[in-house]
Amino acid sequence: MRILAIDTSREICSIAIMEDGKIIKQVASKSEKEHSQTLMPKIKEVLKSAKLKMDDINLLSCSRGPGSFTGIRVGMATIKAFSDAKKIPIAGVDSLKAQAYGVLIRRGRNECKILSMIDAKNENVYFSVYKVHNGNLSLFKNPEVMNISDVVEYIDFTNPLYIVGDVDAEKIEPLLSAKHSKQYAQGKKTESYEFVEDLPEMAESIAVCAQDKYEMGDYGDSSTLFPLYLRKPQAQRQKEGENHKIRIWELSSFDLEQIKNDYDKFPNIWDYKTLEEDFKNSKYIVAKQNNEIVGFTGMRIVLNEMEIMNIVTRVDKYSQGIASSMLSYLIRKNNVEKINLEVSEHNIKAIKLYSKFGFRQVGTRKKYYEGKEDAILMSL
């Protein structure tokens, strides 16, 4: 299998061709010209050097952000054009995830956590936390933009921690050191942390990640590739203010009443009586925005395994990262060996969300939903 991967999310433009898991050609350069002027000639150069044509490529991949807005648009437009012209599938890769894959390439797939950051200016960072378990990288904290002083809330030192990104180490190292010392003083297990600077070029990391995504079935045509925006325009952020943030809480009796009154706004295969019975047997969390419930999730823990019962988002709040925030919360706040869930075979959006967090399909239940739809069983 041959993968053509490009990265235009930063000043350095990189291109790589991977064949059967090995990089056979790659180039990276910083140019005074715009990526729009240099990208196509460089792709042509790399293909010619590898003695390949675009028809020999089986999968296309590029960074979809965060990063340079203009650069990302150039890279995505180029990959989409190749995909449409040659009918080659695409696997888009988040920049933060690509950086985490750089750690896997340089340090191996050993048990660890990875804090991946990109400078977002004014003491803010785009960041995400990943976990490597049984050789697989999964999402531990969903991507978000946040002040650098708040990032340490989402990490611990129960596993070796690797830190990557273009953020000045001097800004975050004191925060990491203080939390590491606090965790040690509390008698908790502590492992070391390391800033990794010898990362491969981004295109190589994107290619390796794209192959993993392909093997999991996480790819598609040009219509499935879209940019990852983590921050809204400044004017909109000022208008919405702090109350627009998504906050996660444990369910209260007051929350239950609000869900009951607004249940028609929460598309769910369960009727309210079924949900009410599950409230008695499961633990629920709610997502709030402006003090209104915009989503809820239920789960049960038996021995050392978690079963996620449902993840529901209010219909007028789709595509705002609410389900992702709730799933991230469950993963971070519950120390279990395994997490299981089931999802309708036709719920492609949910399947992609679970795959993003590292869930893998482990089986099916035929005609499980109303005797019509199969349930896909997934585990992390």
What is the domain count for the chain? 3
Q: How far is CA 194 from CA 113, 197, 200, 318, in A?
A: 11, 9, 17, 37
Task: Tell me, yes or no, whether 107 and 252 share the same domain.
Answer: no
Going by pLDDT thresholds of 50, 70 and 90, the confidence category of residue 32 is low
Residue 115 belongs to a domain = yes
Lowest mean pLDDT among 3-17, 132-146, 227-241: 227-241
Please give the Cα distance from 236 to 247 (Å, whole number): 19
Backbone φ and ψ of 124, nearest 5°: -105, 155
Task: Flag whether 150 is in a domain.
Answer: yes
- Say yes or no to pLDDT of 235 above 50: no
CA distance 222 to 90: 7
Same-domain check for residues 131 and 68: no
For the chain, the helix, strand and coil percentages under 3-state DSSP, each to the nearest 5: 40, 35, 30
Identify the pLDDT of residue 356: 87
Nearest CA among 193, 109, 102, 199 for reference residue 156: 193
Residue 231 pLDDT grade (very low, low, confident, very high; cuts 50, 70, 90) = low
Check pLDDT > 80 for residue 308.
Answer: yes
Q: Is the pLDDT of residue 52 over 80?
A: yes
Q: Give the single-character DSSP code of 231.
A: S
Which domain does 366 fall in, by range? 234-379
Q: Are residues 82 and 136 in the same domain?
A: no
Rounded Cα–Cα distance for residues 362 and 344 (Å): 14
| CA–CA distance, 254 with 217 (Å, rounded to integer) | 41
In a domain, 229, yes or no: no
Indicate whether 161 and 189 sit together in one domain: yes
pLDDT above 70 coverage of the chain, percent: 96
- Examine the domain organization and report whether 182 and 256 are in the same domain: no
pLDDT in tens, 176-213: 999 999 999 999 889 999 999 999 999 999 999 999 99
Span 238-296, pLDDT tens digits: 444 545 678 998 988 889 889 999 999 998 778 888 888 888 889 999 999 988 999 99
User: Are residues 297 and 339 both part of a single domain?
Assistant: yes
Q: Could you tell me the pTM of the whole model? A: 0.84
Residue 163 pLDDT grade (very low, low, confident, very high; cuts 50, 70, 90): very high
Residue 251 lies inside a defined structural domain of this protein: yes
Same domain membership, residue 207 and residue 69: yes
In this structure, the answer to whether residues 81 and 218 fall within a common structural domain is yes
Query: What one-character-per-residue DSSP string does 178-213 give?
Result: HHHHHHHHTT-----EEE---PPPHHHHHHHHHHHH
Residue 6 lies in a domain: yes
Mean pLDDT value of segment 43-70: 95
CA–CA separation, 339 vs 311, rounded Å? 14
Residue 336 scores a pLDDT above 80: yes
Residue 8 confidence class, pLDDT cut points 50, 70, 90? very high
pLDDT at 238: 47
CA distance 6 to 323: 30
Q: How confident is the model at residue 234 (pLDDT cuts 50, 70, 90)?
A: very low
Same domain, 206 and 81: yes
**Residue 247 shares a structural domain with residue 151:** no
pLDDT for the residue 229? 79
Length of the chain: 380
Confidence class of residue 35 from pLDDT cuts 50, 70 and 90?
A: confident
Half-sphere exposure of 75 (CA within 13 A, CB side): 37
**For 149-164, what is the mean pLDDT?**
93
CATH of the domain at 204: 3.30.420.40
pLDDT given at position 233: 45
Q: Say if residue 279 is in the same domain as residue 325.
A: yes
Asked if 331 and 298 count as a contact pair (C-beta separation under 8 A), the reply is no
Q: What is the CATH number of the domain that holds 239?
A: 3.40.630.30
Instruction: Give yes or no: residues 167 and 289 share one domain.
Output: no
